[in-house]
Structure 1
Amino acid sequence: MYKFLPFIALLAASVQGDHAPAPPAPIPAYKPAPKYEEAPQPYAFQYGVADDYSGAKFSAEENADGKITSGSYQVALPDGRIQTVTYTVDAYNGFVADVAYEGTPVYPKYEPKPAPAYKPAPYHAPAPATSPPLLTSPLLPTSPPATPAPSYEA
């Protein structure tokens, strides 16, 4: 048995050496992404919101001819002013905005409120949780104990 194991190991080593190493994996070639010509798509839109319930008032408009985008929007600020932003966007200058404010800000005078005064809740005695126990006599007669009570006299 022990003479057979070295023979098997030698045979496995010789068979293992007959195979050639695997060729290396091919290196992926760089292929740039295809470029598609995009035709300019001019557009124009505008909208406005005036919600008296929530106090939201704003509007916007924008125009694009494919190379230059221009527009403006207005927002009613909480201090009573109207902020107007006029902007242009192009490939050379990027985003250029002009911000203007209309009106003067109005801030309410600060009047601190007095600290709240809390009163304790009126005390009411709790209602009884249980009714008085019902005392009745036993229904069955009791018999004397089977063994006499121990006495501890010296």
Structure 2
Amino acid sequence: MKLVIQRCQEASVSVAGETVGTIQNGLMVLIGVGKDDTEEIADKYLKKLLQLRIFEDENGKTNRSLKDVSGSLLLISQFTLYANCRHGNRPSFTDAGDPKNAERLYKYLIAKAKEQVPVVETGIFGADMKVSLVNDGPFTIVLDDTAFA
């Protein structure tokens, strides 16, 4: 699994010109599901995501989590996070998860996030989406298996 986490003042995603998800003050997260990912792996990533202390406290230090600031989540599936560009100029996506399992795990993550975060918005799995973001900081973190080594 791979997550690209962006702290934002606002973010939205639209499909065919219609906004399907929008948040203020929170995290916009691009989610890539790999071919070997499971619910246990998804749980580990969600726990880490929700505990990241990347929001400023009263002293301007990044010391608060999403929950601490009552932030929102915008979760967007993005298989292209698994692009392999080692050979030639055309990316290969063989490490991305099978679409059925990837969609299942994406929906699983959404459901689990909604149990802990009051505002969780989403994109539409497999759709051609347009994402808009006001990155706060900018502050962007890539969370992959190296975060758990």
Give me the TM-score of the superposition, normalised by structure 1.
0.17
Give me the TM-score of the superposition, normalised by structure 2.
0.17
Find the structure with the greater CA-based Rg: 1
Give the structure, 1 or 2, with the largest relative contact order (CA under 8 Å, sep 6 or more).
2
Q: Which one has the bigger strand percentage?
A: 2
